[in-house]
Amino acid sequence: MLVFVGIAVGALLGDAFIHLIPEASETLGDSTALWVLLGMGIFFILEKFLHWHHHHEPHQETEDACDDCDDHVRPFGFLIIFADILHNVVDGVIIAAAFLVSTEAGVATTIAVALHELPQEIGDFGVLLHAGFSRTRALIANVASALSAFLGAGLVFLIGSYSEAMIPALSALAAGSFIYIAAADLVPELHRHARVRDSLIQFLAVIIGVVMMFGLTFFEASAPEIVPDTGTAFKTTDSPFLLDPVHEVNARPTGAVLLGVTDGDTIRVRLENGGEEKVRLLGIDAPETNAGKDTKPECFAPEATEALRAVLPNGSALMLMTDPTQDTRDTYGRLLAYVYIGKTHVNEVLVKEGAAREYTYKNRAYNFQTSFRSLEETARLSARGLWANCR
């Protein structure tokens, strides 16, 4: 049992310091440490509550002096379940978001998460047994906490890509909980057995837990990146189609000539093959010119249409680029594309000037989603366009 506890210590600390904190810091930066400390603080308070509930009231006696302690599960057993639930919610969000990109990406992510979880769950099972759970209760608790991944997946389908924005903070909180449980609860358990032989076995078990987590970094580094086959990808630094420094648009470009502007987010074009198409600008949503049965334009609809016409004069040569994370057409049969005139990204300009809102089609994260949302927030705070005129 102590071998499993040792493995759990190594797996929890390895997961926190090798995986969760570095991944969270890529987005959170210097504030990652605050989120980790917050996670540790939350689990400190949670454990205090469990101790008060366990002993009915606070007292100064040690656990060994408590007559009824052996009849109850020790608090760190429940802590490991709560921490697992938090971590598995994050895993559920990651898996579901990957499936929205493609089935292949979803399967690859699921396999990576499963390999990541196995060594930790093995250690957690031993911790639950050591905390006083029976084998059956420990197994049920482990499975139940693992099912919380479906909660994370559900968040993706309910609120779409907004759920992905929670991943860095939740990962840092989970890291804090893992560090607290390992350092405050499990390491003291190992110190209760002071014989040299036991200590060496425990130390080796901790090393095994850390090595397993470290070994996963090689799998993650060597795993091939799965990208849908979408044709030519613009990767050169001088390409006009890499205006967003964070994202690459992996899509096949199509030349077109503007025939006219329908409204603030829809245009009519003639393609290179001579065919005519309606194009819905991807990642944005402008006020409707014909909203509802009364055909009354929405607030700022005429201004939004004129803003698009100002950027795109009739007869302009355009470049249309689809996005591999999105459908090629919407439910009305319109092409979904980023529109460029020269080096100007039209979709980006409209959001920046407050002539359109950021819009995530079918809750699928797309290449420019982060930058578009940032531009919308700036336009909103600066009271540009529709944000100054519409409630």
Average pLDDT of the residues of the chain: 78
pLDDT surpassing 70 at residue 344: yes
Q: What is the pLDDT of residue 266?
A: 95
> Per-residue pLDDT averaged across 187-198, rounded?
80
State percent of the chain over pLDDT 90: 23
pLDDT digits over 112-125, tens only?
777 767 777 777 88
Rounded Cα–Cα distance for residues 260 and 257 (Å) = 9
pLDDT top residue among 322 and 98 = 322
Q: What is the pLDDT of residue 87?
A: 82
pLDDT surpassing 80 at residue 239: no
The number of residues in the chain equals 391
User: What class is the 253-389 domain?
Assistant: mainly beta
Domain ranges of the chain: 2-61+69-222, 253-389
> Per-residue pLDDT averaged across 325-330, rounded?
84
- Give the sign of the dihedral formed by CA 359, CA 365, CA 369, CA 373: positive
Tokens matching residue 209? 């837990």
Q: What is the pLDDT of residue 357?
A: 94
Rounded Cα–Cα distance for residues 196 and 126 (Å) = 21
Q: Which of 186-190, 269-273, 345-349, 369-373 has the highest mean pLDDT?
A: 345-349
Q: Rounded to two decimals, what is the model's pTM?
A: 0.49
State percent of the chain over pLDDT 70: 78
> Per-residue pLDDT averaged across 177-187, rounded?
84
Q: What contacts 386, CB < 8 A, 6 or more positions away?
A: 287, 299, 300, 303, 304, 354, 355, 356, 357
Catalytic (active-site) positions: 280, 288, 334
Q: Are strands 335-341 and 276-281 parallel, antiparallel or unpaired?
A: parallel
Rounded Cα–Cα distance for residues 240 and 251 (Å) = 13
pLDDT digits over 41-56, tens only?
988 888 787 766 555 4
pLDDT top residue among 331 and 41 = 41
